Structure 1
């Protein structure tokens, strides 16, 4: 995804929707789509470089990873109640994903989440 190209967010959602067609209990694919759009948006808005989205469906569930090329780790913080647009993305990820985290790379990092196979039934 190109740097700061927020048009990539709906594209990523469409691609994930295609990947997850037929996957999941009611709401599972929608949760995956919401969390993916949060990670993609964060990568494009809060870094100065491109990002790479990887989504893998396996018998164990779904893993989505968004890699960017900035070493700065994302901050999980309470949202400012006076700001309707910022500070809630990682709180959503933490609340809705079965697991999530940040993996450092030699250059940059990946922020990832997993939804278990139970979310896919």
Structure 2
């Protein structure tokens, strides 16, 4: 409608090589982006899962990443892309492993769907959350 401000539908952030200080910056940007999206708590889950995926990309590849969050009225999709060739997709480790590597267990448990898409160079690890009322 004329005069109505449209909410942005996509957030894009580049994260530098091994820059773990960027993880809270991405989380804060996502929080602002999702301020009015979804049921109560949906943004908190999105922040947690995004933090886990960005941290994994930075620690396990030693390279940078690109974070893309796309929101629709009832769904959020977050993708974290790395550019390191030849790496196998990350695994969700069993719960009895050491405290590191549990990020994908959280993604598997809390996301409505998630997966890994191999690219010609690197991969994209993604999750989706449904934003409807609980």
TM-score, normalisation: structure 2: 0.82
**2:112 and 2:129 in contact (8 A); partners too:** yes
CA distance in 2, matches of 1:52, 1:22: 24
Matched residue SS, 2:80: strand
Matches of residues 93-108 of structure 1 in structure 2 within 5 Å? 93-108=107-122
Which of 75, 80, 86 is the matching residue for 1:66?
Answer: 80
RMSD (Å) for aligned C-alpha atoms? 1.5
CA distance in 2, matches of 1:117, 1:14: 19
Corresponding residue pairs, total: 118
Residue equivalent to 1:33: 47
**1:80 and 1:87 in contact (8 A); partners too:** no
Larger Rg: 2
Structure 1: which 4+ aligned runs deviate by more than 4 Å?
none
Greater Cα shift, 17-26 or 91-100 = 17-26
Matched residue SS, 1:118: coil
TM-score, normalisation: structure 1: 0.90
**1:61 and 1:117 in contact (8 A); partners too:** yes
**2:37 and 2:73 in contact (8 A); partners too:** no
Larger fraction in helix:
1
**2:67 and 2:79 in contact (8 A); partners too:** yes
Contiguous gaps of at least 5 residues in structure 2: 1-14
Contiguous gaps of at least 5 residues in structure 1: none
* Counterpart check, 1:14 vs 2:28: yes
**How far is the alpha carbon of 1:60 from its aligned partner?**
3.6
